[in-house]
Amino acid sequence: MLITIPRVFDKDEVRAIRARLDAADWEDGKKTAGAQSGQVKNNRQLPPTGDTARELGQLILQRLGQTPLFLSAALPQRILPPMFNRYESGETFGVHVDNAIRTNPFNGEQLRTDLSMTLFFSEPEEYEGGELYVEDHYGTQQVKLPAGDMVLYPSTSLHEVTPVTGGARVSSFFWLQSMVRSNEQRTILFDLDQTIQELAMRLGTDDAEVVRLTGIYHNMIRQWTEV
């Protein structure tokens, strides 16, 4: 399931965040790559424990905690602190799959990477190339979103960032462990939750069918969650 989360940040917020990112000191992205991905990774990142990454990461997590579409799609249990990368001329990240287990750099806690996220801080017209390609059950999906929008996709997916041939592609990327391990089960729960919300808007939250479907949703959550 590949889901886009629009307008996590508005344009004024994006400009303020981007100003801080543009003024930051960047380092070689290979420092945080695994054995396989390090061979195809050519970009720059902010030091994960630096002040800029830490403060902006906390801002992102706070905002996502207030974003119903994200919560419905991800059912997050634990989220790694957001990281930040930058691609300019010739920089790329070839085809790879994300590490199954990652470690929180602040507390050493390990989590299973169920979902990967990219939150864009460059407008599509600001750079050439730099498309995110994600392979899923429906084929290869191309992603190049407006600044402030985010994409969420299974960490099991093969994916890549094509070479940037002009401008700068700036984004945040991070992972989470969901309360529901199975992508198929998360998809069913997301579709059901979105249907319930649409029906509730038309019929009201106290409608008998809405109440019944809500009960079914929560009973499925009880069956499938790992907490």
Q: What pLDDT score was predicted for residue 36?
A: 63
pLDDT for residue 35 is more than 70: no
**What global pTM score does this model have?**
0.93
How far apart CA 72 and CA 109 sit, in angstroms, is 24
pLDDT for residue 137 is more than 90: no
Three-class HEC string of 134-158: EEECCEEEEECCCCCCEEEEECCCC
Q: What pLDDT score was predicted for residue 34?
A: 62
Three-class HEC string of the chain: CCEEECCCCCHHHHHHHHHHHHCCCCEEHHHHCCCCHHHCEECEECCCCCHHHHHHHHHHHHHHCCCHHHHHHHCEEEECCCEEEEECCCCEEEEECCCCEEECCCCCCEEECCEEEEEECCCHHHEEECCEEEEECCEEEEECCCCCCEEEEECCCCEEECCEEEECEEEEEEEEEECCCCHHHHHHHHHHHHHHHHHHHHHCCCCHHHHHHHHHHHHHHHHHCCC
pLDDT band of residue 38 (cuts 50, 70, 90) is low
pLDDT tens sequence across 160-201: 999 999 999 999 999 999 999 999 999 999 999 999 999 999
Q: What pLDDT score was predicted for residue 1?
A: 87
Q: What pLDDT score was predicted for residue 37?
A: 64
pLDDT for residue 33 is more than 70: no
pLDDT band of residue 156 (cuts 50, 70, 90) is very high
How far apart CA 198 and CA 190 sit, in angstroms, is 12
pLDDT tens sequence across 59-104: 999 999 999 999 999 999 999 999 999 999 999 999 999 999 999 9
Q: Does domain 183-224 have CATH number 4.10.860?
A: yes
Q: What pLDDT score was predicted for residue 107?
A: 95
pLDDT for residue 203 is more than 90: yes
How far apart CA 84 and CA 173 sit, in angstroms, is 6
**By percentage, how much of the chain surpasses pLDDT 70?**
97
E strand or H helix that includes residue 111 = strand 110-112
Q: Does domain 3-178 have CATH number 1.10.287.610?
A: no
Q: Enumerate the domain spans of the chain.
A: 3-178, 183-224
Q: Alpha helices of 160-207 — where are they, by DSSP H?
A: 183-203
